[in-house]
Chains A and B, each alone.
Chain A
Amino acid sequence: MSEQFPLETILANFGRERDNLIPLLQEVQERFHYLSPEAVQAVADHLELSENDVYGVATFYAQFRFVPPGLHHIKVCEGTACHVRGSDRILDAISRSTGLKPGQTSDDGAFSLERVACFGSCALAPVVVVDDKVYGRMTAAKTNKLIEDKK
């Protein structure tokens, strides 16, 4: 019940108009860190939309996840400034040391990896964000050390 209760509280804060769909999905993901099939069903029921419709919107936007993220969520910035300063090398380094491709979560649930278009912290390029902390001016070697420390 404890898992269900907050979902219902979130739903209760929103009216049934369609323009609540994206804010509602954002709230649900904020609370549960991803959109489970049950959560999508509940949102669809609340807004009187089909599940298809809700999935159609949710999968359109990069923000929404359908599998739980890892304990440590790693985001690699792929903005232009980061690219010209070597972000693809950083992504490679992380993929090698965690065995993950972007969008994946490790089997033990320790890490997940995501590519992000731009954090707007271009002066610190290249940028990696781990658990919402920003690490600027990264190199492949610094990234490897960062991941090792989290293991």
Chain B
Amino acid sequence: MTEQELLKALQKGDTAALEELIRRYTAYVSSIIRRILGGRTEDCEELTSEVFLVAWNSRGKLQEGKIKGFLGSVARNKAFVRLRGLHEDLPLEEGVIFIEERSVEEAAEHTDAAILLEKALSQLEKPHRELFVRHYYYGQTVKEAAEEMQINLSTAKAWLCRGREKLKDILEKEGYTE
């Protein structure tokens, strides 16, 4: 079944399509949740199911080519909310960037954040990108990510700094607006 066919069937309320969706994306969804929550198996199972329940309830809004992104985004948010519920904060390394605001006239058109993110991160070398995603997407601490990637902590922090600068640069140049 193509994604288009899957989407059509889902939107018609076909539960067989839902089952197919779950089979296709359980590994992806649960992997995201597991990365963020660590080894909490029951939480992973519960949240994985919740993500697909959300997808089912939002099936009218799903778009072709964006299903995986949607599932990933919901999975990530649910995992972070669960972490907050467990009173575990995410120590993100300088988690904000500041960009110059541009007026509506200056920005040629509303720019898709997903496209800009991909552009910014694609310009990083692979290990830098991996570190950035591990920390800012999956919420791994810098220390954990550095250990898994077998780099030292100061190198990891420098890489993250470079990643933030690249992201800021692209967002400013391309006229990112919310």
Q: Tell whether A and B belong to one assembly.
A: no
Residues of B within 8 A of A (CB): none
Residues of A within 8 A of B (CB): none
